[in-house]
Amino acid sequence: MAKTNQNKVTLTPEQQAIASRSEAQDKLRRPIRGDEINDFSLMKNATDLPEAAQKLQDKKIYAFRLCARTPERIDKLTRSDKPPLRWALVTRTTIPELGHLVDPMVGCVCILDQCLLYKYWEDHMRVQKAKMELAEGGLQAGSLEGKKSQIENRGGDVEVFVGPEHKIGSSDVVQYPDAIPDDGDSTPLGDLVA
């Protein structure tokens, strides 16, 4: 800052702009109310379903999802699968209740860089049920009891023992039918592990 001979301060253009804004704000000063501090507008997720779509989903008429607004992704979800797995774009003609949300430029409901897709609730639940059955089957097949039943169902001359009382320890002797030495000696498991 440079001083002039009359004790006036000369401000640079940037300092003058800041000073004028400070002056203007001082003139508009008023106390801040408590309800202005608690602004919850940012708590809403931008990719949540629109309220009208959420009501239709809550009534279990349609199931909705978002997908990337690219032709490849839309084609993958709307054309490649059979009807219970297939989704469809929400347009004015497919779901007229959501027609007011349709973007006139694109022709479907868009939320940020996503498109809204739907399928009938019954199809959605059928797919969800099948996924749950597959997951439960995978869990059962991965358990020891599941493996035991798979081996026993194949038949043959195999005995399977499951449970903590049949746990193999480091002092147990492991014998391989094809590799049993001629003298009948067996190798402890601890010697086989490095």
3-state secondary structure of 97: helix
- Per the CB < 8 A criterion, the answer to whether 99 and 32 are in contact is no
Q: What is the pLDDT of residue 29?
A: 63
- Per the CB < 8 A criterion, the answer to whether 111 and 65 are in contact is no
pLDDT tier at 194, thresholds 50, 70, 90: very low
pLDDT in tens, 77-128: 999 888 889 999 999 999 999 999 999 899 999 999 999 999 999 999 999 9
Percent of the chain predicted with pLDDT > 90? 36
**Smallest Cα–Cα separation from 46: which of 125, 107, 113, 126?**
113
Q: What is the pLDDT of residue 168?
A: 74
Percent of the chain predicted with pLDDT > 70? 68
Residue 193 gets which letter from DSSP?
-
- Per the CB < 8 A criterion, the answer to whether 63 and 57 are in contact is yes
